[in-house]
Amino acid sequence: MGSDFSENTVMFKVRPEDVNQARDILMQVYIALEKKGYNPINQLVGYLLSGDPAYITSYGNARSLIRRLERDELLEELVRHYLNESTIAAYNNPPVPAKE
């Protein structure tokens, strides 16, 4: 029985307007979760892993907002932010220890 996955690398592209929308939605949802007393990181991780919108409060229309985008679009924005150009540059050029 063959594998369901291709051995070839597949290109994934996101439109620039989706990036801005994902960032805006994540920030609005984060603020709504925080205002209601939840740990926003834990709640967002729960939603991203499970797809269950019950992890997101309905306060401030946050639950409806987050469902406007697919979870992969939200993850793509999080990865982009985490691995921004300065982070990659620092990883590729670690500081040289001072000589004693």
**Distance separating alpha carbons of residues 11 and 17, to the nearest angstrom:** 18
Evaluate the CA torsion angle 32, 33, 34, 35 in order and state its sign: positive
DSSP assignment string, 37-88: T--HHHHHHHHHHH--GGGS--GGGHHHHHTTS-HHHHHHHHHHHHT-HHHH
pTM of the full structure: 0.70
- pLDDT, tens digit only, all 100 positions of the chain: 555 666 887 776 666 655 578 899 999 999 999 999 999 999 999 999 999 999 999 999 999 999 999 999 999 889 888 888 667 777 777 777 777 6
Tell me the C-alpha distance between 23 and 21, whole Å. 5
C-alpha 18/C-alpha 4 separation (Å) is 29
